Amino acid sequence: MRTLSEFESAQNKRLLRAIDEGAGADREVSIDNPVLRFSLDGPAVQDHRIESGLLGDWLKYFQAAVQSVAYALDELRPTHDSGPVPKEIQKLTKLYSGPVFASSYGMVLEGRAGIGQEEIPGVGNNEGLLDRTINRILDLTDSAGSGPAAEDAVLDVAIPLGRRAIRHLAELSNVLAQAEADVTLTWHSQSTVSRTSRLSSDNADRCRRALRADDLEDRTERFRGIVVGGSKIRGVIEIELERGDVIVVRTSKQEVTALLGAHAERGVEAEVHVLTARSPLGREHHSYTLVGISSADD
């Protein structure tokens, strides 16, 4: 096991070697392995060097965010995201350090190639989960730079992912905001040929403020209404409440067809976990997760 100082020394040597050999940012990386290139810049980067503690924090919190977002997106996850992220998800979303390249400070992170369903049972759509996860994180970084209502846009992306993912995304944003570092992320995979997003330290601070844990509230409510629709692809059912509002309630994708068969266009009483976040602009964002459901006549 290498220490952080040894890790930094090895990475700096690899960077200098890459520059000398002209490898640079144009180095070809096989798309058989999904690849994330990230480049850090700003006051925290000097002469292609970065403090090992900052780099270590960035890598640690990025991996944690990837795993928690993947768990939130997994088709077979339990209703609630309590407890540790399953080992199957950790294995599927583990990122490996690749080469550094010539930028302010650039590094390649590689995922595993071609994981089949038989290799990691208990996880829905293995091959697409890491790709959907990284794209959801890039949705969030894009939202952070979307203008005056950026905090609300961030919460629209983050709150369906649940409290754990929100916490890890806040920690990741905090690393950049505190260090006044910017990051450029470029993702390559079989499904996403190339996608680039940039998160400045100012926008990271917007993320951090929007995702503050003290602005999150959990509660369980019982709603009465009529099931008016749903989507197996999205893993949701839609309930029109007695007051006329329609709420979109997340549930397991495998349960949607049975729930619609039993309750479509019928009155129900649903027990729902509600996660509420309030943006710095005062707007409330809600995420609804099904706990239990029964006929309103029972």
Q: State the pLDDT at residue 252.
A: 85
In this prediction, the residues of the chain whose per-residue pLDDT falls under 70 are 1-32, 75-82, 102-103, 113-127, 214, 298
Q: Which residues contact 218 (CB under 8 A, 6 or more apart)?
A: 163, 273, 274, 275, 276
Q: Which residues contact 65 (CB under 8 A, 6 or more apart)?
A: 137, 165, 168, 169, 171, 172
- Strands annotated E in 142-297: 182-188, 195-199, 216-231, 236-241, 246-250, 267-278, 284-295
Cα–Cα nearest to 105, from 45, 58, 35 = 45
CB-based burial of residue 168 (10 Å sphere; 0-12 exposed, 13-18 middle, 19+ buried)? buried
DSSP assignment of 22-67 equals T--TT----TTS-EEEEEEESTTEETTEE-HHHHHHHHHHHHHHHH
SS percent in the chain: helix, strand, coil, step 5? 40, 30, 30
pLDDT tens profile 49-83: 888 899 999 999 999 999 999 998 886 565 555 67
pTM of the model: 0.78
Q: State the pLDDT at residue 20.
A: 44
Measure CA 21 to chain center: 35
Domain ranges of the chain: 4-211, 216-295
What's the CATH fold of domain 216-295?
Answer: OB fold (Dihydrolipoamide Acetyltransferase, E2P) (2.40.50)
